[in-house]
Structure 1
Amino acid sequence: MSYELKSVFASLPHMERGVAKVLGGDPKGNNFLYTNGKSVIIRNIEVRRKEYLGFSDERQLCLRRFGAVFLWDSGSSVGEIVGHSKIINSVDIKQTRPYRLVTGSDDNCTTFLEGPPFKFKCTISDHSRFVNCVRFSPDGNCYASAGADGQIFLYDGKTGEKLGSLGGEKAHDGGIYAVSWSPDSTQLISASGDKTVRLWDVGSGVAVSTFNLGSDVQDQQLGCLWLKNHLLSVSLSGYINYLDRSNPDRPLRTIKGHTKSIQCLTVHKADGRSSIYSASHDGHINYWDSESGENEEFVGKGHSNLVSRMTVDESEHLVTCSMDDTVRYTDLSKREYSASDVVKMDMQPKCVSVGPGGLAVTVCIGQLVLLKDKKKLFTLDSLGYEPESVAVHPGGGAVAVGGADGKVRLYAVQGNTLKDDGKVLEVQGPVTDMSYSQDGAFLAVTDEKKVITVFTVADGYTEKSEFYGHHAKVVCLSWSPDNEHFATGGMDMMLYVWTVSDPDKRIKIPDAHRLHHVSGLTWLNTNTLVTTSHDACVKQWTLRI
């Protein structure tokens, strides 16, 4: 048994309103990079999906946040930054001799240094608000500074002498967060909170084109990059736009995805194509073509808070429950939210499971809710325990509910009600997840005590096996279509694929998402497992079992 990482659908950059996002490019112009939390995402400029953790091996001088300059490979000091009274937002180093260094700060100033070792030469106070970005032209003859005052100033790259400005009194109607030079140093682009990116002819100081990226707050432009012939910008939404010089009002393409931690996922096959659906901490749901990585979001207004669980029912509706106290049914043929397909819960839902005939059961705080055909039929309160997870048997007649007390209770669906059948299954600790195998033969339960317990349904839910291997709480579980294997993810950042008939026969995938635990997993087919994590990435694994 072995595994191989098949593909990565990488996260978008994590964005904050009013905070610039740096997009970097490699010297050959083939890849660009950005950060999201602890991750550095490296993407091929032509191909969308690529993810690494680490940094480029280009040797250059770097700047610490508080003003020390050092050689990144050896750590040797090559000067200190003085002249600022507030945080430094941006730094750039002239890549041709004589070397120069410029910084921009929240104190509305830039500083100009000569070196190495770098020594302070002057402070420049042309901006009236925060300086968000400073960049030398590739030939080193000039550098630009951009600020929250909507202005871009140009300076001599060797002396720091002011040469002029772009756009006259103002380059943008809003604050400017980033600039990036063309490879030949004759033009640059600027990204602004006024939701536009502008292409400038540096010699004349005139805007050649204005790219309009939308009208919503999320369309504010907080970063940009000119890499070879590609012009990129990044919106407050995290979306990365490939700008079209021949059509400034419509990007060539937009890379979408998640900026925040992914909480759950599921898969669905239609017209011979498999799609992956993922939901993140902010309520955003994205869907991906499993082969190409092409992706998009649903149309309309959806969940407003964390989506805790999602699944697909037999009517091909995506059923989701969220911390916004709703359960939603979204038609996967339309991929459009509908206000009429929202069921309001009395308490916050934690988990939802679906069965045949339009049946669904939702676990909420302190209660169970039976739904059918998008309507609430029955609510069971005063449980005497706190329910955490739920699984509806594929046959539809039985419902298993896992509790924080380390017990699994079985309920029967009788007409429009749920009835406790009195059977209780014991596991090692508080239940974290549970699922029936697709043929309904087994029920697998994960718990906080690092144990997975499998019960045989036909034998009255007798315990078949316990599976050990995780070093911390197990948090998610999914059965393979072959009903012989299932996968689990734990807080130990381990991913296991287990064999029902032989607990010792398993695949162990350590650090599946490197810096975060697996938050959700599902099977695309019997040899492909899909996982998500708080790193906001979706990964596919090829398994040989």
Structure 2
Amino acid sequence: MSYELKHVFASLPQMERGVAKVLGGDPKGNNFLYTNGKSVIIRNIDNPAIADIYTEHAHQVTVAKYAPSGFYIASGDVSGKIRIWDTTQKEHLLKYEYQPFGGRIKDIAWTEDSKRIAVVGEGREKFGAVFLWDTGSSVGEIAGHFKVINSVDIKQTRPYRLITGSDDSCGAFFEGPPFKFKFTLPDHSGFVNCVRFSPDGTRFATASADYQIVIYDGKTGEKVSTLGGEKAHDGGVYAISWSPDSSRLISASGDKTVKLWDVGAGTAVTTFNMGADVADQQLGCLWQKDYFLSVSLSGFINYLDKNNPDRPIRVIKGHSKSIQSLTVHKNEGRTYIYSGSHDGHINYWDAETGDNDDFLGKGHSNQVSKMVVDDTNQLVTCSMDDTLRYTDLNKKEYSASDLVKMDFQPKSVSVAPGGLTLAVCIGQVVLLKDKKKVFTLEGLDYEPAAGAIHPGGSTAAVGGADGKVHLYSIQGNTLKKDSTTMEAKGPVTDMAYSNDGAYLAVTDEKKVVTVFSVADGYSVKNDFYGHHAKIMTVAWSPDNEHFASSGMDNMVYVWTVSDADTRIKLPDTHRLHHVSGLAWIDEHTLVTTSLDATVKQWTVKF
């Protein structure tokens, strides 16, 4: 019995309105990287479905940059810690860890020999530091600013020069090593968000919230020109990235455009219009090989096409907030994974290729708590916005008419053939038929927590906070209470019938999964012990002989119904968080989602 990781569909960058997002590029041109939560995400630029995730920071990571050698990555977090770790090994072994100052790190730069590192941000006593990568010894002082430093860069040719940009509306120019402050660059009237040297070191650019991009001489720091005359954009400029030949650069702005500049002429060659919504503000960009990448406030990563500036070649979608629900569905021979997140966003993924998109139109406005697909190819979702939605998976578009408003917040939803839906809400159990409420159970003597309809459509099981499973027979459009109630070991957290309807698995807060045998009058088939904390969710394998459970202990177990001692333990499936969703693509492929906003597939062998 074994398991191995098959696919990682990574999270998007974590974005914040009005805050620039730094994208890192691999010097060999193969990968790009960014941060979300406590993770650093490395993605293949040709095929972004190939991803690797580094999860060793104890605090939220804000920036990560490759060393020019390509062998190491330096990443910094909100506590002021810098970790330097190996990129060549799967384990990403830690080489060094430093704390140059206490506070959020906003940008990192290396010298071209990969020996010195500059770090800036919002420290308490100082806003920046330059040190040797292998000893942490200081090689200069970053002075000259009296507010947070947002950006730093080092000239990649000798003699070295270092530049910074700050919230005090100034840049600063340093010579070294050891790096010493030479003079202030006073040409902006707003926050300086990004500073970058051209690869050949002859020039550098500064980009600011005052809509301007200023070009300077790389060696002397003298001002050369401004791009676009009076202003480069109609909004704050958050990021710039130079072309490999140093003749052009791209800039990303809050005016929802990215521009491609001919630096010598000072004019924009191409303007990429990214949309009209607030979420289309452009907060980061990267010129890597022949690719222009930009990042929208939504977290979407855009591959820009200079031959068709209003339509990106591809847009990488996904989740930037925690995933709370999951299901899978086969359609025309292909398997799709559906995931719903804390912010109401639903994404669907091709299970093999990782190609993904979201539905058209306006969907849920709050956390998507549970999702399931019915027999008419409708995705049924329940949300903290107090609604149930039915979305046609062939159209992949939200419908305003297929929305059912609930009296109370729904926690769980399950379906059966014949248009039946069971919604378990706070203090209520609601039976729906053909997208309409037909029966409501209220005034219950227990708090309903989870529900499941038998695949045959004749029985509804409702698990309560009282540690019992209450059975109801579905008679026409009503629910009739059965005399049978089963005991779980504690307050019920989730439940699911096996696909053939033979078993009901019930998970509880007391760390036990109890499987009941339906044909034997719901007698206990087996109790499954192994989790060290509350169990969150359960999912049956298509073979009906195995099921998976996940708990607050970050563990996933795959169990064998007939033998409670035969199990596969998947520790640290999502290292930082518990698994929030489980689903099976086939009897050997398990999908997991988590609060780290990633989707993973595992090959499980019995």
Q: Same fold (TM over 0.5)?
A: yes
Matched, 1:211 2:268: no
Which digits, 9 at most, give the CA deviation of each residue in 1:85-143, with x for residues without a partner? 22111111222212222111111111222222222222222111111101111111111
| Counterpart secondary structure, 2:279 | helix
Quote the offset at 1:68 in angstroms: 2.2
Determine the structure 1 residue equivalent to 2:119: 63
Q: Take 1:10 and 1:180, find their aligned partners in 2: how far apart are those partners?
A: 24
Residues 126-137 of structure 1 aligned to structure 2 (within 5 Å) = 126-137=187-198
Counterpart AA for 1:329: Y
Determine the structure 2 residue equivalent to 1:39: 39
Gap change, CA 1:79 and 1:408, over 3 Å in 2: farther
Please identify runs of 4+ aligned residues in structure 1 that moved more than 4 A.
Answer: none
Which digits, 9 at most, give the CA deviation of each residue in 1:176-199, with x for residues without a partner? 000000001111000001111111
Matched, 1:524 2:524: no
| Counterpart secondary structure, 2:271 | strand
Determine the structure 2 residue equivalent to 1:374: 435
Q: Which 10-residue stretch deviates more, 100-109 or 345-354?
A: 100-109
Counterpart AA for 1:369: V
1:199 pairs, out of 260, 266, 273, with 260
Matched, 1:354 2:415: yes
| Counterpart secondary structure, 1:218 | helix
Q: Indicate conservation of the 8 Å contact 1:62/1:71, yes or no.
A: no
TM-score of the two chains, using structure 1 as the length reference: 0.98
Q: Take 1:374 and 1:274, find their aligned partners in 2: how far apart are those partners?
A: 25
Quote the offset at 1:305 in angstroms: 0.7
Matched, 1:229 2:290: yes
| Counterpart secondary structure, 2:139 | strand
Matched, 1:287 2:288: no
Matched, 1:24 2:80: no
| Counterpart secondary structure, 1:269 | strand
Quote the offset at 1:239 in angstroms: 1.1
Counterpart AA for 2:18: G
Residues 59-458 of structure 1 aligned to structure 2 (within 5 Å) = 59=114, 60-65=116-121, 66=123, 67-458=128-519
| Counterpart secondary structure, 1:339 | coil
Counterpart AA for 1:162: K
Which digits, 9 at most, give the CA deviation of each residue in 1:31-81, with x for residues without a partner? 101111111111111011212216640534130423222234432222332
Q: Take 2:118 and 2:369, find their aligned partners in 1: how far apart are those partners?
A: 41
Q: Take 2:153 and 2:230, find their aligned partners in 1: how far apart are those partners?
A: 25
Which digits, 9 at most, give the CA deviation of each residue in 1:447-466, with x for residues without a partner? 11211111111111111211
Q: Take 1:79 and 1:433, find their aligned partners in 2: how far apart are those partners?
A: 58
Q: Indicate conservation of the 8 Å contact 2:324/2:340, yes or no.
A: yes
Gap change, CA 1:474 and 1:74, over 3 Å in 2: farther
Gap change, CA 1:147 and 1:490, over 3 Å in 2: same
| Percentage of identical aligned residues | 72
Q: Take 1:158 and 1:467, find their aligned partners in 2: how far apart are those partners?
A: 69
Quote the offset at 1:477 in angstroms: 0.7
Q: Pairwise CA RMSD of aligned residues?
A: 1.3
Q: Indicate conservation of the 8 Å contact 1:62/1:72, yes or no.
A: no
Quote the offset at 1:151 in angstroms: 0.1
| Counterpart secondary structure, 2:54 | coil
Which digits, 9 at most, give the CA deviation of each residue in 1:247-282, with x for residues without a partner? 111111111111111111111112111111111111
Gap change, CA 1:413 and 1:73, over 3 Å in 2: farther
| Counterpart secondary structure, 1:78 | coil
Determine the structure 2 residue equivalent to 1:52: 53
Counterpart AA for 1:456: S
Q: Indicate conservation of the 8 Å contact 1:146/1:179, yes or no.
A: yes
Counterpart AA for 1:43: R
Q: Indicate conservation of the 8 Å contact 2:120/2:151, yes or no.
A: no
Quote the offset at 1:361 in angstroms: 0.7
Q: Indicate conservation of the 8 Å contact 1:7/1:539, yes or no.
A: yes
| Counterpart secondary structure, 2:401 | helix
